[in-house]
Amino acid sequence: MHRSWIAGIPFWIAAGLALANETRPLDLGGGVTLDVIRLEAGTFTEGSPTTEEGRGDDEAARTVTLTEPFFIGKTAVTVAQWQRFALATGYRTEAESGNSGGFGWDGKALVQQKQFTWKNPGFSQSPGDPVCLITFPDAEKFCGWLQGKMGSKVTLPTEAQWEYACRAGNVAAWHDGTETLAAAGGREALAWHKTNAGNGTRAANSITANSWGLHIGGNVAEWCQDWYAPYPAGPTTDPLQTNQNLSDKPRRVLRGGSWNRDLRNTRSAARFRADPRSRNADTGFRVVMSVEPLAKAAVTTLPSTSIPVIPLRSEETYPVVASRSDGFSFGSLVCPLIGLGAVVAIVIAIVKAANRRSSLPPGVPRNPNSYLPPTPPQQQGQTIRMADDGFWLNTDFAAGTALDVIYRLVNGGEQRSRIIYQPGPGGHFVFTGSRPLSASFSHVPSMAAGMMSGSSYSPHYGHQTTTPLYGNDFQRSDPPDNPAAY
């Protein structure tokens, strides 16, 4: 920022503008980072004037105030960043887990075929391209995982946050001050769209950044939190549309246009919408993170020893007792006493098992065979912290260590998965979707991080097939076979 530009303006404004350029790299593990940029609270005009060329009827202008600062992704989430998430969690997208695949590029149009997923959208991608074929629920899973790693709330942007970030204080049709379609068409570095992209994505940072340092607009359409609806009239504060019934059918907002859409769709005010389960090769997302960290959950220390097991071994022997001279032998009591002792031991074990069952949390089945006590850690001083949508691991194991995790949900039964331990500032977060009733983990000896996937990383996903070796943490019903393309 040039000092001469801010000379003469109040200090608090200058400080806010300086903070708007603060970039924070988020460590995703495995040498992969995700840069977010801090934006200060502010007021702007969302939507477009009636005279703006290429505008839609749903862009009625309104004054919006955002009361809290926030961090937003410098670019859309990239292929490399998404792959890091998928390898760390075993997560499979809805296009991968469904029966019919996603909508990929067949050379002429987006068509649905089984082979089209984020690994193969129908065109080659580099690790720095924005990931695509991501549904709204897929994007939310990434946000939940990142929230666990960072210890701050991570979501998709609201529609207002997205436009505020895109405009970067500019009131023109495009964030660089361009006003007309003709002028914008002559600026290839402004946005990737149907005319200049070449039927596929480009590197997420390959367009010119706006004045707040964000590469935004074009390339892939980006999911927002809001359900699509007309803007309510009048000024508003921190808007978020939560009513899904104000459109022709429930659809989420998409912003930014894409490589498969016209230039006018890359304007700052341009709106689009899609079924949240849509999985298309021109749809991706970026993240928003709160400035303030989440309140830390209470720390629960795992037991350092296992629950005792009573041995009942047929080969066990007992000491010989000397007999008395009167012919009454203490040894003659050994067999009955052994039998009595075995019965007592069995009764004690049954009572303990009953006590464990009676103390199970609400919602856990009472079948003793369905409840397993927490697996003890391999070392002392290791902790699990429960959260509303998962749990944190803090261990003495080195980053890159494979761990088996077991957790129990109120309505989900016992879940098991294998992760690669990659701790952030708050430890390693395991996303479960709801607060676990119990959780434990154990070390997997001699398991390298590279073995978490059936194939190694390739920058060109059109020729890669990857079969995860282990189940994922995220249980879901299969998506519909034929979701709407938009």
Kindly report the average pLDDT of the chain as a whole number: 77
> Tens of pLDDT along 276-334?
999 999 999 999 999 999 975 433 333 332 323 323 223 233 233 333 333 433 344 33
pLDDT confidence tier of residue 462, bands split at 50, 70 and 90:
very low
Q: Are residues 264 and 398 in the same domain?
A: no
Residue 19 within any structural domain of the chain: yes
pLDDT of residue 296: 58
Same domain, 186 and 246: yes
- Greater pLDDT, 159 or 5: 159
204 and 339 together in one domain = no
Alpha helices, DSSP H only, in 134-216?
A: 136-150, 159-167, 181-185
CB 83, CB 455: distance < 8 Å: no
Q: Residue 318, exposed/middle/buried by CB under 10 A (0-12, 13-18, 19+)?
A: exposed
CB 104 within 8 A of CB 133: yes
> Mind listing the pLDDT tens digit for each residue in 349-359?
554 444 444 44
State the pLDDT at residue 381: 52
Given a cut of 50, whether residue 449 has pLDDT beyond it is: no
Q: Tell whether 312 and 418 lie within a shared domain.
A: no
CB 202 within 8 A of CB 188: no
Comparing 8 with 210, the larger pLDDT belongs to 210
Asked if 344 and 420 sit in the same domain, the reply is no
For residues 221 and 261, the answer to whether their CB atoms sit within 8 Å is yes
In a domain, 485, yes or no: no
| CATH code of residue 202 | 3.90.1580.10
3-class secondary structure, 274: strand
Question: How many whole angstroms separate alpha carbon 297 and alpha carbon 294?
Answer: 9
Residue 263 reports pLDDT greater than 70 = yes
* Burial class for 36, CB neighbours closer than 10 Å (0-12, 13-18, 19+): buried
Q: Is the pLDDT score of 363 beyond 50?
A: no
Model confidence pLDDT, tens digit, residues 46-96: 999 999 999 999 999 999 999 999 999 999 999 999 999 999 999 999 999
What is the identity of the amino acid at 201? T
Residue predicted with more confidence, 61 or 436: 61
pLDDT at position 269 is: 98
Over residues 439-458, the mean pLDDT reads 52
With a pLDDT cut of 70, the percent of the chain lying above it is 69
**Do 355 and 268 fall within a single domain?**
no
Q: Return left, alpha or beta for 190; rule: phi > 0 is left, psi -120 to 50 is alpha, else beta.
A: alpha
What is the domain range of residue 358? 308-321+334-372
Q: What is the mean pLDDT of residues 389-411?
A: 82
Q: What is the mean pLDDT of residues 195-222?
A: 97
**Claim to verify: residue 145 and residue 272 sit in the same structural domain:** yes
In the chain, the largest separation of any two C-alpha atoms, in whole Å, equals 119
Torsion region of 92: left, alpha or beta (phi above 0 gives left; psi -120 to 50 gives alpha): beta
Q: Is residue 452 part of a domain?
A: no
pLDDT, position 425: 66
Q: What is the pLDDT of residue 195?
A: 95
Structural domain includes residue 460: no
Question: What is the number of structural domains in the chain?
Answer: 3
Give strand pairing partners of 289. Answer: 71, 154
How much is the pLDDT for 309?
Answer: 30
Same domain for 130 and 91:
yes
Q: With respect to residue 327, please indicate whether it lies within any of the assigned structural domains.
A: no
Residues 63 and 187 in one domain: yes
Which one is predicted more confidently, 9 or 24? 24
Query: Which of 144-158, 268-282, 366-380 shows the lowest mean pLDDT across its residues?
Result: 366-380
- In whole angstroms, what separates CA 361 from the centre of its chain? 28
Q: Are 127 and 251 in a shared domain?
A: yes
Instruction: Characterize the bridge pairing of strands 402-409 and 390-394.
Output: unpaired
Residue 484 has pLDDT above 70, yes or no: no
pLDDT in tens, 153-190: 999 999 999 999 999 999 999 999 999 999 999 998 89
Look at residue 486 and tell me if it is in a domain.
Answer: no
Alpha-carbon distances of 415 from 141, 151, 154, 438, rounded to whole Å = 17, 23, 24, 10
Q: Would you call 143 helix, strand, or coil by DSSP?
A: helix
Select the more confidently predicted residue: 9 or 117.
117
Do both 269 and 366 map to the same domain? Answer: no
Is the model's pLDDT at 362 over the cut of 60? no
Using one digit for the tens of pLDDT, what is the confidence trace for 217-229? 999 999 999 999 9
In a domain, 454, yes or no: no
Q: Residue 412's pLDDT band (boundaries 50, 70, 90)?
A: low
pLDDT value of residue 349: 52
Q: Based on the fold, state whether residues 350 and 405 are members of the same structural domain.
A: no
Residue 168 within any structural domain of the chain: yes
How much is the pLDDT for 398? 83
